[in-house]
Amino acid sequence: MPKKNKTHSGAKDRFKVTGSGKIMRRRANKNHILEHKTSKRKRKLSNEAVLSPADTKSMRKLLGK
């Protein structure tokens, strides 16, 4: 009988799967040194982005989907 795959605990915190099956990720550059970044730039970095198709296959495996 095949063994169940465990979800990668680092991946489950960083990525989420939408209802339609897309994988969402955070944008980079929103952690520190925010003082010199413009408000417009920080606002745009707050939105989640869809993971690229090249990375989606491997991420699905890590998430156990």
We report the CATH number of the domain holding residue 35 as 4.10.410.60
Number of domains in the chain: 1
For the stretch 2-35, pLDDT in tens is: 788 899 999 999 999 999 999 999 999 999 999 9
- Nearest alpha-carbon partner for 15 in 6, 5, 25: 25
Residue 13 lies in a domain: yes
State whether residue 24 is helix, strand or coil.
strand
Residue 24 lies in a domain: yes
Domain of residue 37 covers 9-63
For residue 65, name the pLDDT band (cuts at 50, 70, 90): confident
Q: What is the DSSP letter of 25?
A: E
Residue 15 lies in a domain: yes
Residue 4 lies in a domain: no
Query: Rounded to whole angstroms, how far apart are CA atoms 54 and 60?
Result: 11
Residue 2 lies in a domain: no
Contact 42, 62 (CB under 8 A): no
Which residues are 23's β-sheet partners? 17
Residue 50 reports pLDDT greater than 80: yes
Residue 45 lies in a domain: yes
